[in-house]
Amino acid sequence: MDNFLNSNLLISIITFLVGSFAIYLYIKQKIDHEKDAAKLILQEIRYAEQQIRSFKVVGSYPLADKLLPTNSWHKNIHLFVRKLKETEIDLISRFYSNSAYLDIVISKISDKRNDLLIPVNIPPLQTNPQSLPIVPPIAKLPQDITTFELNSNKILNEVSQKIEFIYNTPAVGKLREIAEKRRFFIL
């Protein structure tokens, strides 16, 4: 009878330890995933703000670069719903929404520019200068020439000007705390 009780007690202790270790690993993995998502979101916000600041100085976006190469906020927003206030979530979501819209406009501009035909260097005709026809002088151009601007450039400018930089706000500060928080577990 003692052998039976000792073996059951030993099995119970081992089962408890294995179960506790499995729960520990699950919680640690969940926390690590949350920290990694927060770090990635911080990096995306910093990079997008850097690109927008550059646009405000230079006046154009590089067509080969996206503001949000990966959109981690919308994939991981559920991780931060309990840790951020509604207004903080709205602030970050608005920033991501505007940046994603700018990416779409930049992509459309790039597509249009890729579709443009450009002249290829054609060798000049070999002609005798004495046989060239006399060209009448160019007529005077009217002074009221209308200039055109692409509507997409106007959209880029409007949206870029209204984007609120959020990297140094309390909302992103909370994400920074989540990303940097150290947690220690004792079994």
Residue with tokens 């705390």: 177
Asked if the structure places residue 18 within a domain, the reply is no
Residues 6+ apart with CB under 8 A from 176: 38, 42
Name the least confident of 22-31, 112-121, 176-185: 112-121
Assigned domain for 28 exists = no
- Answer yes or no: is 126 within a domain: no
pLDDT band per the 50, 70, 90 thresholds, residue 187 = very low
The answer to the question of residue 146 being in a domain is: no
Please check whether residue 98 lies inside any domain of the structure.
Answer: yes
pLDDT digits (tens, 9 = 90+) for 96-150: 999 999 999 988 888 887 777 777 776 665 555 555 445 455 555 556 666 656 6
Q: Does 27 reside within a domain?
A: no
Total domains present in the chain: 1
pLDDT, mean of residues 8-27? 91
Whole-angstrom Cα distance, residue 48 to residue 99? 7
Residue 110 maps to a domain: yes
Q: Are 62 and 52 in contact (CB under 8 A)?
A: no
Cβ-proximal residues to 98 (8 Å cutoff; 6+ apart), any chain: 159, 162, 163
User: Range of 173's domain?
Assistant: 37-114+151-180
Question: What distance lies between CA 72 and its chain's CA centroid?
Answer: 8
Nearest to 81 by CA among 90, 68, 72, 71: 90
- 64-97 pLDDT per residue, tens: 788 998 889 999 999 999 999 999 999 999 999 9
What's the pTM value of the predicted model, to 2 decimals?
0.72
Is there a domain that residue 26 lies in? no
